[in-house]
Amino acid sequence: MKIIFFIDVWYPVYGGAIRSVEYIAQGLAEQGHEITIVTRKLRTKDGIVTPINPNRGYKVIHLGPISNFENIFFRLWWLLYATWIGWRLGPFDIIHGIANLGGIPAKLLSLLSRRPVVYTVHGSGIRVWEKMNRGVISILMKGMEIFVQCKIYYDVEISVDADFFNIAGNINKHKEVIPNGVDTNYYQPGLPGKISNRLLFVGRLHPQKSLPTLLHALKQLPSQVVLHIVGSGNEELRLRTLINELDLNSRVIFKGALYGQELIREYQKAQLFILPSVYEGQPHTILEAWACGLPIVATKVGANPDMFVDSRLGTLVPIEDPVSLADAIESYLQKDLEDYGGFIRQHVIDNYSWQQIIKRHILIYDKLIYEHGS
């Protein structure tokens, strides 16, 4: 098969959708399929620009000029340019858009080429948008998210969590729930073990992640409890200001964006992983933490209620509730969590294999190609 993916975010920005597309593209390429990913040239607030893509058997096309991810003008410009690039490189057997804006060039190319289109949502903020954003731009972006996720008809719409399809007004008929996966050969527990009273957060420093809730919870915990924050984003200055106001400077350590073995070591050393988001799809970081044998306290959002099927995996609390979050953290820190690690890791191995997830994508693609007579 010849497959094109449209995704409007890529490295150096770091997120779950990017990792999913990477693993799926690599798995498909290893099976002999021709894969092209069309994305943007990006830079972070620190000036880090999109790296050259290593040769992994698939092609990544970065469309410039270089801009910040949030730049509205270049995001809209990319929609048309990406469609034209897809038309020039086609025809493709399958066109696959990735939320959010990847659905627009995917749908346009599908209409132009009369080829099947698939769209994947890795988490929707439609229900909680007002909690994270304000102003005219925010209203426009929420409208765009509703339009792309719910008002464009795709041959198949995929979500990593079933709860997304409960949003009213979605016109799509063929819906599939396919979870994310994790590479358990890469993410593994380490030696000599975990450091007592160390909490870990990994993710973007973005209002979605509700880190102020975690900081207020930390303030209620014993002084020996410390928090490592791994990630970067526009919220960092606001968070540092709040840390200073709460007198938590000695208990919160910003590690910046980490990758590879540096990131894995953070998972391996922490005693408990915390994810206080106001919305998620099905978080990669939860799977990564579990693969390293780390229990989790997270919020009741997205796919989380379906994932936490045993108390040894962790527990869930309401969003924006620092008291409940602090109580749950303290409860787990008082347990002998080393005994949980083996069970947690085996649960991930048994339920979140990338091989199974790639196979489910291939079944969808094959069916669409057959139905369209390609």
User: Which tens digits make up the pLDDT trace of 268-289?
Assistant: 999 999 999 998 889 999 999 9
- More confident call, 140 vs 32: 32
- Confidence class for position 50, pLDDT limits 50, 70, 90: low
Is residue 214 domain-shared with residue 98, that is, in the same domain? no
Task: For residue 322, say if its preceding peptide bond is cis, omega within 30 degrees of 0.
Answer: no
The predicted pLDDT at position 311 comes to: 92
Instruction: Give Cα 286 to chain centroid, integer Å.
Output: 10
Residue 272: per-residue pLDDT: 96
CA 16 to CA 145: how far, in whole Å? 18
Q: What is the pTM (predicted TM-score) of this model? A: 0.84
Mean pLDDT of the chain: 91
Q: Is residue 188 part of a domain?
A: no
Residues 172, 33 share a domain: yes
- Would you say residue 174 lies in a domain? yes
Q: Is the domain of 177 the same as that of 308?
A: no
Q: Return the top range by mean pLDDT from 44-53, 162-171, 321-330.
A: 321-330
Is 94 part of a structural domain of the chain?
Answer: yes
Instruction: Report yes or no on 167 lying in a domain.
Output: yes
Asked if 144 and 179 count as a contact pair (C-beta separation under 8 A), the reply is no
Of all helices (H) and strands (E), which one includes residue 145? helix 136-146
Least confident of 114-128, 168-182, 269-283: 114-128
- Whether residue 203 lies inside any domain: the answer is yes
- Count of domains forming the chain: 2
Confidence of residue 139 (pLDDT cuts 50, 70, 90): confident
Q: What is the mean pLDDT of residues 100-120?
A: 97
pLDDT digits (tens, 9 = 90+) for 7-43: 999 988 777 899 899 999 999 999 999 999 999 998 8
Instruction: Check whether residue 280 and residue 310 sit in a common domain.
Output: yes
Residue 7 falls inside a structural domain: yes
Whether 340 and 262 share a structural domain: yes
Which residues, 6 or more positions from 369, have their beta carbon under 8 angstroms from its beta carbon? 1, 93, 94, 116
User: What range does the domain containing 240 cover?
Assistant: 198-351
